[in-house]
Amino acid sequence: MKNHPAASFALRLAISFGALGIIVFFLRDKLSETLLIIQTEVAWPWFFLAVVIYGAAIFIQAIRLQLVFKVQKIIMSLKEAAYLHFIGLFFNLFFPSAVGGDVAKAYFAYKHTGKKMESTTSVIFDRLMGFVALILMAITVTLFFSTQLVDTGIIHWVFASLFLMVATMLFFASKRVARHFKFLKVLIPSQKWRDRLSDLYHMIHNYRNHKTVLALCILTSFISQVMFITAHYWLALSLGVDISIWLFFILIPLLAVVSMAPSVGGLGVREAGVVYFFSKHMASERAFALSLLLDLLLYGYSFAAGLIFALRGGLKKKLIHEMEALQ
């Protein structure tokens, strides 16, 4: 059992670098052009505007996290909730272990409150709200602007994501639907973990009884996701790319779904997703340059969060082991 985290990380590492290797192989004749674009053509004011709005979106998401925690009777300030989001970025993109951003957020919320299951439930539900908002935006924009898509096959991706979202929502909203999946419990050999997952399900299901909180969570999710998508659009503008902003409302949600694939913080699959989805609407070398600018933005925030985390004495071996145990 002790080898499972190491094996999992090795698999994710292989997928990340495998995806990067595929990109480099297929774009090997255009790598020099991509680097030249980054060096000489980027309009940096647009890039820094993207950095600012991306950071502002994180604070909007911190408000949502506050609301989600409140249902579990966890009181957290906006500053503390925003800190959790930034620390989540650091662990997602930088930390070389099985500890991911959501695990780190749940752990620090638990240390703050002493409520392990409530903290874990809140982080999972917060992630679910962001996913719901992204897919709803994608399907809405697709219905009105699908003619702008060069590759109509993208529409299939959107509806597949919609199906995944609806299935997830029905599962947690309806116990009648969830009962149809009881047979899957045989995949969980430990009764202890069956009980924990059952408790987790009922706590997430309970959010349906807090309609005001749900409405505010959806509202803040839409606002923050619009800001995140605008940041991606401004990154494209910094490269001199002139395509409709509405395409970003279709493609960025799909990129978010692709980035959920097993990897090290989305590394490799994120860049492959950008190149795949956007090369239909811009030169492939510019699509790759867009993915590199996105990496610069994400890793910049993650490095800053990690620096703050380290200065506050967070990088301790005991603490990391405790987070791994939380999983």
Residue 211 lies in a domain: yes
In a domain, 237, yes or no: yes
The answer to whether residue 300 is domain-embedded is: yes
The answer to whether 51 and 31 have CB atoms below 8 angstroms apart is no
Kindly state the tokens that stand for 210: 């807090």
- Which tokens hold the place of 107? 């752990």
CA 304, CA 80: separation in Å to the nearest integer? 16
Print the domain residue range for 232: 4-15+37-326
Chain mean pLDDT for the chain: 85
Report if residue 236 sits inside a domain. yes
pLDDT of residue 14 exceeding 90, the answer is: no
Alpha helix (H) residue ranges in 28-115: 31-40, 44-71, 78-93, 101-113
Residue 126 lies in a domain: yes
Please calculate the CA angle 252-150-270 and round it to the nearest 5 degrees. 30
Q: Which two tokens stand for residue 18?
A: 């495998």
Check pLDDT > 80 for residue 275: yes
Residue 296 clears pLDDT 90, i.e. is over it:
yes
Domains held by the chain: number: 1
62-78 pLDDT per residue, tens: 999 999 999 988 888 88
Instruction: State the maximum Cα–Cα separation within the chain, in Å, rounded to a whole number.
Output: 59
Nearest alpha-carbon partner for 71 in 197, 223, 205: 205
Is residue 152 predicted with pLDDT exceeding 80?
no
Q: What is the pLDDT of residue 2?
A: 45
CA distances from 8 to 14, 185, 196, 324 (A): 10, 22, 22, 12
Phi/psi at 45 (5° precision): -55, -40
- In degrees, rounded to 5, the angle at the alpha carbon of residue 101 between the alpha carbons of residues 160 and 81 is 105
pTM score over 0.85: yes
What integer pLDDT is reported at residue 97 of this predicted model?
45
Q: Within 13 Å of residue 57, how many CA atoms lie on the same side as its CB?
A: 21
Mean pLDDT, residues 89-102: 66
Helix 44-71 / helix 116-145 crossing angle, nearest 10 deg:
130
- 27 assigned to some structural domain: no
pLDDT tens, 183-226?
777 777 788 888 888 888 899 999 988 999 999 999 999 999 99
Residue 28 lies in a domain: no
Contact 94, 78 (CB under 8 A): no
Q: Which pLDDT score is estimated for 13?
A: 81
Residue 322 maps to a domain: yes
**Residue type present at position 183:** F
Name the phi and psi angles at 266, rounded to 5. Answer: 85, -5
Left, alpha or beta for 263 (phi > 0: left; psi -120 to 50: alpha)?
Answer: beta
